[in-house]
Structure 1
Amino acid sequence: MFVFEKANHKYRFPIITICLIFLTLCTLFFDSIDSYAFTPKKEFGISLFTSYFFNATFVEWTTNAIYLYMFADNIEDVVGHFNFFFLFLFFGFLANLTYFVFHMDSIVPVVGTSGVVSGILGMYYVFFPNVKSTMVFEKVTFRDVPIFFSLSIWILVQGYLYIVERHSNVQSTYIGQVVTFLIGMVVAHLLLKQNVLDKLEHNLRLTTFQNKTILCPSCNHPIPAKKYGRFHCNSCQTNFFFDRTGKKFLP
């Protein structure tokens, strides 16, 4: 299952996200990644912090890079460059720690950015629940699905895969993705109490109106605007009012 974000506009260029995608790409060309992989039964070392910069295959990197490109840029936009880099490290560490707790005797080395991606998706779930998305299964595609619904299905699938692999006695890393997703939601709720979204929305209002467009408060679709007043979004059929104090929904 894949979840694709539709347009969600940014205020700041996601320099950290782009650099991290490029860095994880470079690690694909290492001759050996065994010394960077995290193995729970071995002594803790730098691998606890390096394993999530590596991916086992190009396909795995591509999947994680796509998710980072679609979702991490908006999280970086909200929390700022430095805080986003710290969150990247935190979610990667948390995913490895979770794998250790559930598989202490494992001698299977793990690498991958999936745990980080999952934490970012958890934050996105809280910050942008109404952004439209596309859900893709093997042969079925659902379009214009609110992100809170598509990501709910996504995390349930991760939990199901973990149960299946555990039942088959496979040392699964899916539990790390479930935990980081939930912690990402908690972190996002804590940041909401600091009004980080209100500050971002203020910057977005200034930028978009200077560019003669405003963003629909429901789906973030850009709408041409020459002055303040009443607007209708043809993308999601939402009516709203835009003035100097911000966007307001109308009946």
Structure 2
Amino acid sequence: MFVFEKANHNFRKPILTLGFILITMLTLFFDNIDSYAFTPKKEFGFSIVGSIFFNTSFTEWLTNAIYLYMFADNIEDVVGHFYFFILFLFFGILANLTYFLFHTNSIIPVIGTSGVISGILGMYFVFFPNVKSTMVFEKATFRDIPIFISLSIWILIQSYFYIVELNNQVRSVYGGQVITFLMGIIIAQIFIRYKFLDRLDHNIRLSTFINKTVLCPSCSNPIPTEKYGRLHCSACNTNFFFDRHGKKFL
């Protein structure tokens, strides 16, 4: 299953997101990538961090790069470059530590950015729950699905895969993806408590012509407006009402 966002505007340039995509692309040309992989039974070292910048194949890199490009730029936009850098490393380390805790004696190495992406998706789930998305299965495609629904289905599938493989005594990284997704939700709630989203919205409105632009609550697309009232976002086809007390969906 794949989840694609339909539209979500960002205002900061996603410097780190693009940088991480570039770094993970360059590591494709490294020789003997297993030496950079994280193996629980070995001593901890650079691999617990370095492994998150490697991928096993071009296809895996391309999939991860697409997810980073679609979702990570908006998270970087909300929390800022510094916090995004810390979160990127944190989610990667957390995913590896989860694999270590569940498979302490495993000699199977793991590499990849999937744990980081899961954490980012968890934050996206909280920050932009009503952004429209497209869900793609093997033989079916569902369009204009609110992202909180599609990501809920996605994490349930990851959890199911982990339970199945755990019962079959198969070493997998699905457990790390589930944990980082849930941690992403928790961290996003903390950011909301400290009004990062409100601060972003306020700063953007102050930077526009006499505060006559409002951000769509679904996709953050800037919408010119002369007054309070009912508004329509053409980017994500969302209707909402905006007044001095804030925004609400219609």
Higher alpha-carbon deviation: 203-212 or 84-93 = 203-212
For residues 237 and 60 of structure 1, the distance between their equivalents in structure 2, rounded to whole angstroms, comes to 33
Any conservation in 2 of the 1:131–1:218 contact (CA below 8 Å)? yes
TM-score, normalisation: structure 1: 0.91
Q: How does 1:1-251 map to 2 (within 5 A)?
A: 1-207=1-207, 214-223=214-223, 225=224, 227-233=226-232, 235-236=236-237, 238-241=239-242, 245=244, 247-249=246-248
| Cα distance, 1:6 vs structure 2 | 1.5
For residues 250 and 10 of structure 1, the distance between their equivalents in structure 2, rounded to whole angstroms, comes to 20
| Cα distance, 1:163 vs structure 2 | 1.4
Any conservation in 2 of the 1:11–1:207 contact (CA below 8 Å)? no
Any conservation in 2 of the 1:218–1:236 contact (CA below 8 Å)? no
| Cα distance, 1:201 vs structure 2 | 1.1
| Cα distance, 1:61 vs structure 2 | 0.6
Matching residue's letter, 1:12:
R
Which segments of 5 or more consecutive residues in structure 2 lack a partner in the other structure? none
**CA pair 190-93 structure 1, distance change in 2 beyond 3 A:** same
Matching residue's letter, 1:32:
N
**CA pair 100-111 structure 1, distance change in 2 beyond 3 A:** same
For residues 225 and 185 of structure 2, the distance between their equivalents in structure 1, rounded to whole angstroms, comes to 37
In percent, how many aligned pairs have the same letter? 65
Any conservation in 2 of the 1:91–1:180 contact (CA below 8 Å)? yes
| Cα distance, 1:216 vs structure 2 | 2.6
Any conservation in 2 of the 1:118–1:180 contact (CA below 8 Å)? yes
Higher alpha-carbon deviation: 99-108 or 203-212 = 203-212
**CA pair 226-158 structure 1, distance change in 2 beyond 3 A:** closer
Any conservation in 2 of the 1:159–1:174 contact (CA below 8 Å)? yes
| Cα distance, 1:190 vs structure 2 | 1.2
Any conservation in 1 of the 2:125–2:151 contact (CA below 8 Å)? yes
For residues 150 and 164 of structure 2, the distance between their equivalents in structure 1, rounded to whole angstroms, comes to 21
Higher alpha-carbon deviation: 47-56 or 161-170 = 161-170
For residues 236 and 102 of structure 1, the distance between their equivalents in structure 2, rounded to whole angstroms, comes to 44
SS of match in other structure, 2:38: coil
For residues 107 and 138 of structure 1, the distance between their equivalents in structure 2, rounded to whole angstroms, comes to 33
| Cα distance, 1:31 vs structure 2 | 1.2
| Cα distance, 1:246 vs structure 2 | 7.4
Any conservation in 1 of the 2:218–2:238 contact (CA below 8 Å)? no
Any conservation in 2 of the 1:2–1:137 contact (CA below 8 Å)? yes
Any conservation in 2 of the 1:217–1:247 contact (CA below 8 Å)? no
Which segments of 5 or more consecutive residues in structure 1 lack a partner in the other structure? none
| Cα distance, 1:109 vs structure 2 | 0.7
Instruction: Write the deviation string for residues 81-112 of structure 1: whole angstroms up to 9, x where unpaired.
Output: 01100100000000000000000111111100
For residues 196 and 239 of structure 1, the distance between their equivalents in structure 2, rounded to whole angstroms, comes to 21
Any conservation in 2 of the 1:208–1:215 contact (CA below 8 Å)? no
Matching residue's letter, 1:62:
L
TM-score, normalisation: structure 2: 0.92
For residues 211 and 112 of structure 2, the distance between their equivalents in structure 1, rounded to whole angstroms, comes to 39
SS of match in other structure, 1:130: coil
Higher alpha-carbon deviation: 86-95 or 31-40 = 31-40
For residues 23 and 43 of structure 2, the distance between their equivalents in structure 1, rounded to whole angstroms, comes to 26
| Cα distance, 1:119 vs structure 2 | 0.4
